Structure 1
Amino acid sequence: MQIRTTANSTPPARDASAAAQSAESRRIGDDVAQACHTAMSALTNDRFRIMLEQITDPVSSGALMTMRGANVVDLKSAQSSYADNSE
């Protein structure tokens, strides 16, 4: 039994394109898996669920749309309110 090898400095174009497609397919698959993981994490997060319910409520979303500049809150008050609600 004889084994002969031939060295080829440049791989055939179809092998390179197949490898590139394979790498691209893996990258897309990884991106999709990460997006699914992020979506599931958001769906199981109670704070996110409550926020989503609030902004999809027609009364709340209407109130958000009609907010005017007269109701401006300074940064320290907003941070304090956010910190109180985060606990």
Structure 2
Amino acid sequence: MPYRWWPATLAALNGIDPLEALQALNADRRLPRAGVALDLPVLSVWARTEAGRPLIVVLRHEGGLEWLIVGALDMTPAQVAEFEAWEASHAPE
């Protein structure tokens, strides 16, 4: 899928390298969650970087296969626990 960065997102990344967000988006195991931000539909993708860092990357669908990256953040401890429970229940065979 083609991803495009919203310039404000790049400027607002706090301790997250843009490559880490892309690694999370391309991870084999991703938990997608539909949501709404600023009254617009978004998709948050919960995943791990290649180094194992749990991140949430927020996307806005632009049509076809195009997605705009509108945010990336570290999971909170509660989100990590929820994600780890999901990982455990979706272990690769």
TM-score of the two chains, using structure 1 as the length reference: 0.21
Between the two structures, name the one with larger relative contact order (CA 8 Å, sep ≥ 6). Answer: 2
Larger Rg: 1
Between structures 1 and 2, the one with greater strand share: 2
Task: State the TM-score, normalizing by the size of structure 2.
Answer: 0.20
